[in-house]
Amino acid sequence: AQRVTQPEKLLSVFKGAPVELKCNYSYSGSPELFWYVQYSRQRLQLLLRHISRESIKGFTADLNKGETSFHLKKPFAQEEDSAMYYCALSSGSARQLTFGSGTQLTVLP
Amino acid sequence: DTGVSQNPRHKITKRGQNVTFRCDPISEHNRLYWYRQTLGQGPEFLTYFQNEAQLEKSRLLSDRFSAERPKGSFSTLEIQRTEQGDSAMYLCASSLAVTTEQYFGPGTRLTVT
């Protein structure tokens, strides 16, 4: 069965510092991975997916199949990046998402 | 189109009562998903529809849970004989069948007293 692990429940960094949110997965097939973000009082929204290999709001994530990881990175954190971040894996014919438990990122001034 | 909508946004009910939630997906999306999210956890998949067909329902938590999408548009999720452990946020998401990108609604927060 598929599983997504986000080892850090809380992460605090100072504005301008680099940030890395960790995500590891287990899945027997070819994974499709996503990062979703939830800002305060807003709905869950897609931040990026590994297939598109794009940078959104300065964030990037690289799929490392050898380490089964999909860590989210940003070189210079901003206060508006403070939010809950979820890593998710799409699987099955339903393409349902399996989510990690999330990391609450706080960017301090 | 303002995206996926869910009603009600909050529901407080007494143990043993039945509750029904509604989800209106983005109009051209033929896939619709229900998830449940408990405190401190990520969303957990429950069931999904492609058009009006419920193609996966084995992950519904018990036989007290049921979902419908009668005309392939809006969907309802019903919980019968609610228990305190059913207290959670219930999320709906929709997508096109050709993509994996899901768009989420704001959720319905259920509190069972």
pLDDT tens string B5-18: 999 999 999 999 99
DSSP codes joined into one string, A71-85: -EEESS--GGG-EEE
Among A3-7, A47-51, A85-89, the minimum mean pLDDT is found in A47-51
The pLDDT of residue B74 = 96
What torsion, rounded to 10 degrees, do the Cα atoms A25, A27, A30, A36 define? -40
Are A44 and B55 inside 8 Å of each other by CB? no
Query: In angstroms, what separates the C-alpha of A97 from chain B's closest C-alpha?
Result: 7
Q: What's the order of all strands across the beta sheet hosting A19-21?
A: A19-21, A72-74, A60-61
**pLDDT in the model for residue A9:** 96
Contact residues on chain A for B95, CB-CB shorter than 8 A: 95
Which residues of chain A make contact with B93, given a CB cutoff of 8 A? 97
Query: Does residue B111 register a pLDDT over 90?
Result: yes
Task: For residue range B37-59, list pLDDT tens digits in order.
Answer: 999 999 999 999 998 888 888 78
The C-alpha of B19 sits at a distance from chain A's nearest C-alpha, in angstroms, of: 22
d(CA A12, CA A47): 19
Given a cut of 80, whether residue A3 has pLDDT beyond it is yes
Place of tokens 């508006």: A80
Q: Please judge whether B40 and A101 are an interchain contact, meaning their C-beta atoms are less than 8 angstroms apart.
A: yes
Q: Where are the alpha helices (DSSP H) in chain B?
A: none
B43 part of contact set with chain A, CB < 8 Å: yes
Report how far residue A46's alpha carbon sits from residue A53's, in angstroms, rounded to the nearest whole number.
Answer: 14
Contact B56 A99 (CB under 8 A): no
- Number of C-beta neighbours around residue A7 at 10 A: 11
At residue B56, the pLDDT reads 82
What per-residue confidence (pLDDT) applies to A91?
Answer: 85
B90 vs A: CB within 8 A: no
For B4, the 3-state DSSP assignment is coil
pLDDT at site A94: 83
pLDDT band, very low/low/confident/very high, at A67 (cuts 50, 70, 90): very high
Identify from B101, B108, B109 which residue to disrupt to test chain A contact, counting A C-beta atoms within 10 A and taking the largest count: B101
* pLDDT > 90? residue A54: no
Nearest to A3 by CA among A73, A88, A102, A103: A88
**Residues B72-86: what's their mean pLDDT?**
95
* Total Cβ atoms within 10 A of residue B15: 12
Are the C-beta atoms of B39 and B54 separated by less than 8 Å?
no
Which pLDDT band holds residue B100 (cuts at 50, 70, 90)? confident
SS3 B101: coil
**DSSP structural state of residue A59:** B
Q: What's the whole-number mean pLDDT along residues A90-95?
A: 85
Instruction: Give residue A1's pLDDT.
Output: 81
Residue with tokens 């979902």: B67
Statement: residue B86 has pLDDT above 80:
yes
Q: Is the pLDDT reported for residue B1 higher than 60?
A: no
In angstroms, the CA B74 to CA B39 distance is 27
Task: Give the pLDDT mean for B78-93.
Answer: 97
Contact check, Cβ <8 Å, B104/A44: yes
